[in-house]
Amino acid sequence: MRDREKAKKRAKELVGRMTLEEKASQLRYDAPAIPRLDIPAYNWWNEGLHGVARGGTATSFPQAIGMAAAFHRELVEEMGRIVAAEGRAKYNSSRALEDRDIYKGLTFWSPNVNIFRDPRWGRGHETYGEDPYLTGELGKAYVNGLQGDGEYMTAAACAKHFAVHSGPEAVRHSFDARVSQKDLYETYLPAFEKLVKEAGVEAVMGAYNRTNGEPCCGSKTLMQDILRGKWGFQGHYVSDCWAVRDFHTNHMVTDTAEESAALALKSGCDLNCGNTYLHMLKACQEGLVTEEEITEAAERLFTTRFLLGMFDETEFDGIGFDRLECPEHVQTAERAAAESVVLLKNNGILPLAKESLKAIGVIGPNADSRAALVGNYHGTSSRYITVLEGIQDLAGEQVRIYYSEGCHLFREKVEFLAQRQDRISEAVAVAKNSDVVILCLGLDETLEGEEGDTGNSYASGDKADLLLPKVQRELAEAVIGTGRPVVVLNMTGSAMDLRYMQDNADAVMQVWYPGARGGKTVAELLFGDISPSGKLPVTFYNSAEELPDFEDYSMKGRTYRYFQGKPLYPFGYGLTYGNVSVEEVVCGGNSFRQGEGGVLEMDVREAVKVTVRAVNRSLTGTGEVIQIYVKDLDSPFAQPNAKLCAFSRIFLDGNESREVELVIPGEAFTVVNEDGETVEGGEHFLISAGLGQPDRRTAELTGKECVVFTILKRTVGTEK
Digit-coded pLDDT (tens) for 437-472: 999 999 999 999 998 765 554 457 899 999 999 999
If asked whether residues 249 and 345 sit together in one domain, one would say: no
The domain of 450 spans 333-562
The helix (run of H) or strand (run of E) holding residue 418 is none
In this structure, are 447 and 530 located in the same domain? yes
Task: Using the 3D structure, point to which of 531, 562, 593 is the last residue of a domain.
Answer: 562
Would you put residue 128 in left (φ > 0), alpha (ψ -120 to 50) or beta? Answer: alpha
Residues 658 and 611 grouped into a single domain: yes
Asked, for residue 324, whether it belongs to a domain, the answer is no
Which pLDDT score is estimated for 459? 52
**Which residue from 310, 328, 381 is spatially nearest to 155, judged by alpha carbons?**
310
Residue 649 — φ and ψ, nearest 5°? -85, 135
We report the CATH number of the domain holding residue 689 as 2.60.40.10
CA distance 502 to 457: 27
Bigger pLDDT: 105 vs 596: 105
The residues that bridge with 610 in the sheet, in sequence order, are 587, 662
CA 370, 375, 380, 383 dihedral sign is negative
Burial class, 603, CB count within 10 angstroms (exposed 0-12 / middle 13-18 / buried 19+): middle
Asked if the structure places residue 12 within a domain, the reply is: yes
The domain total for the chain is 3
Which of 562, 597, 629 marks a domain boundary? 562
- Element at 471 (helix H, strand E): helix 470-480
Task: Kindly state whether residues 363 and 285 are assigned to the same domain.
Answer: no
Q: Is the CB of residue 553 less than 8 Å from the CB of residue 186?
A: no
- Please give the share of the chain, as a percent, with pLDDT higher than 70: 98
| Short-list 508, 199, 519, 146, CA closest to 333 | 519
Burial category of 2 from C-beta neighbours within 10 Å (exposed 0-12, middle 13-18, buried 19 and up) = middle
Choose among 328, 322, 336: nearest CA to 516. Answer: 336
Residue type, 179: V
Is residue 552 left, alpha or beta, with left meaning phi > 0 and alpha meaning psi from -120 to 50?
A: beta
Query: What pLDDT does 720 receive?
Result: 39
CATH number at residue 269: 3.20.20.300
Q: What confidence score (pLDDT) does residue 371 get?
A: 97
Q: Looking at the domain assignment, is residue 69 inside a domain?
A: no
Could you count the other beta carbons within 10 Å of the beta carbon of residue 328?
Answer: 9
Q: To the nearest 10°, the Cα dihedral for 422, 423, 425, 428? A: -160
| Beta-sheet strands, E only, within 2-65 | 30-31, 42-43
The alpha carbon of 299 is separated from its chain's Cα centroid by a whole number of angstroms, namely 31
User: Residue 363: which CATH number?
Assistant: 3.40.50.1700
Show which of 528, 562, 596 is a domain's final residue. 562
- pLDDT in the model for residue 452: 74
Enzyme catalytic residues: 240
* 387-406 pLDDT per residue, tens: 999 999 999 889 999 999 99
Helix (H, G, I), strand (E, B) or coil at 200: coil
**Across-strand partners of 176?**
210
Mean pLDDT of the chain, nearest integer: 96
Give the pTM. Answer: 0.97
Please report whether residue 178 resides in a domain. yes
**pLDDT number for residue 26:** 98
How much is the pLDDT for 465? Answer: 95
- b/e per residue, 394-424, with b = 16+ CB within 10 A? bbeeebebbbbbbbbbbeebbeeeeeebbbb
Q: What is the pLDDT of residue 716?
A: 58
H runs (alpha helix) in 509-629: 518-526, 559-562
- For residue 444, what pLDDT is reported? 95
Say if residue 20's pLDDT is above 80: yes
pLDDT digits (tens, 9 = 90+) for 316-343: 999 999 999 999 999 999 999 999 999 9
Report which residue type is found at 104.
Answer: K
Percent of the chain with pLDDT over 90: 96
φ, ψ of residue 338 in degrees (nearest 5): -65, -40
Instruction: List, for residues 120-132, the tens digit of each pLDDT value.
Output: 999 999 999 999 9
